[in-house]
Amino acid sequence: MSSHLHPLRSWLGRPAVALLAAAALLPGCGAGAGEAVTGVTLTVSSGFGASNLKTFPTPKVAGEDTVLRLLQRNTEVESRDGGGFVTAINGTKSGAVDGEQHDWTYYVDGVAADRGAAAWRLRSGEQVWWDFHASDAFPGGTPAVVGAYPRPLAGGFDGRHPTTMIRCADPDRAACTTVTERLTAAGAKLVPGTPAGSPATDAGQQAPIQVIVARIDQLAGFGPEAASLRAGPEESGVFARITGDRTLEGLDQRGKTVTSSATSTGIVAAIRRSTNAPVWIVAGTDDQGLRRAAKALDEDQLRHRAAVIVDQRGARGIPEGPTG
């Protein structure tokens, strides 16, 4: 894997699929023994949840199972290199689709894995999502998604980042209240937020997951993750782009603009840079759009989606349009 790629890319693109052959030899990797694992879910889809969606709310799972073993217990899996890479799930095989390489990527609690599926030992309550999509469209891939809500905002991920910090551009606005109420009801452990222009608390693996609540013209003051929405998926991993002062564009998987709005439109997205905690963005073109985004913090509206744009028609997943 070339050194210029995103630090997570070795687990996201073609190798996204990610099953380190050596890790498969580790003790307990799929042996099924050990303490019971409960509350795990499994989803298999394509196009960031756009089609071929199959959800296992109560999949077959045993103690000490890995993500790979969970997949094998519940689906038909093909792999190569001695189990090193998943090449097909339920008959959908890695390869060229409309001239672009498509592969399987997996997320746990809304965060793209940083290791092979044979090396990820399951914990109770984890939500595992395998998705088949274009793997070479953007170098950084899509390192974080909103489709496991309320995880990781409630509970953290991979045993890390157990708290959440809400950072509001206007703390007295209705959108900030809505986000706080919804996360409290979801069981998130909230810590006091810091205002725009101030750095968020940095505590390594215990650093809180940030939720930025702001109009899109206010995002730049909340750090590089929030500001990266203006650069598009090449930087943010989100299939949306901010242009001008308050215009929000929805993009397809190739980064082409499909929709564009400067009024009453919101977005909910998750952005992760390097190995930092993900930063969630709840933003709007204006106050009405921001309120709509805040109200979209809902399991039914976010489930199995990379990110959503919200307007008068409701919430819809992005990338926009045909997703292969």
Whether residues 91 and 233 fall in one domain: no
CA torsion angle 6 207 291 186 (round to 10): 110
Whether residues 228 and 130 fall in one domain: no
Contact (CB, 8 A) for 155 and 187: yes
Residues 6+ apart with CB under 8 A from 114: 8, 11, 275
* Residue 86: pLDDT band with limits 50, 70, 90: confident
Whether residues 173 and 247 fall in one domain: yes
Whether residues 28 and 114 fall in one domain: yes
Query: Which CATH number characterizes residue 277's domain?
Result: 3.30.379
Q: For residue 18, what pLDDT is reported? A: 38
292: left (phi over 0), alpha (psi -120 to 50) or beta: alpha
Whether residues 200 and 274 fall in one domain: yes
In a domain, 159, yes or no: no
Q: Quick one: average pLDDT of 302-311?
A: 96
* Residue 65: pLDDT band with limits 50, 70, 90: very high
Q: For residue 8, what pLDDT is reported? A: 40
Higher-confidence residue of 321 and 201: namely 321
Q: For residue 83, what pLDDT is reported? A: 56
In a domain, 239, yes or no: yes
Q: Quick one: average pLDDT of 220-233?
A: 94
Alpha helix (H) residue ranges in the chain:
9-12, 67-74, 174-186, 224-227, 233-236, 287-295, 299-302
Taking 90 as the threshold, does the pLDDT of residue 21 lie above it? no
In a domain, 201, yes or no: yes
Sign (positive or negative) of CA dihedral 313, 237, 252, 86: negative
Whether residues 168 and 314 fall in one domain: yes
In a domain, 157, yes or no: no
* Residue 200: pLDDT band with limits 50, 70, 90: low
* Residue 313: pLDDT band with limits 50, 70, 90: very high
**How confident is the model over 234-244, as pLDDT tens digits?**
999 999 999 99
In a domain, 176, yes or no: yes
Domain coverage including residue 16 = 9-134
63 vs 199: CA distance, rounded Å: 40
In a domain, 194, yes or no: yes
Count Cβ atoms within 10 A of the Cβ of residue 293 and give its class: 0-12 exposed, 13-18 middle, 19 or more buried: buried
Whether residues 176 and 259 fall in one domain: yes
Whether residues 173 and 122 fall in one domain: no
Identify residue 46 by its one-letter amino acid code.
S
Domains: count for the chain: 2
Q: For residue 35, what pLDDT is reported? A: 78
Whether residues 231 and 114 fall in one domain: no
Nearest Cα residue to 190 out of 221, 154, 159: 154
In a domain, 75, yes or no: yes
Nearest Cα residue to 274 out of 324, 224, 312: 224
Whether residues 123 and 203 fall in one domain: no
pTM for this predicted structure: 0.88
Query: Which CATH number characterizes residue 28's domain?
Result: 2.170.130.30
Taking 80 as the threshold, does the pLDDT of residue 36 lie above it? yes
**115-119, 157-161, 283-287: least confident range:** 115-119
Assigned token pair, 233: 């998926």
DSSP string for residues in 162-188: --EEEEESSTTSHHHHHHHHHHHHHT-
DSSP string for residues in 88-108: EETTEE-EEETTEEEEEEEEE
Whether residues 106 and 168 fall in one domain: no
Identify the domain boundary among 134, 153, 174. Answer: 134
In a domain, 149, yes or no: no
Whether residues 226 and 101 fall in one domain: no
Angle of the 174-186 helix axis to the 287-295 helix axis, nearest 10: 10
**How confident is the model over 119-171, as pLDDT tens digits?**
899 999 999 999 999 987 787 899 999 999 999 999 999 999 999 999 999 99
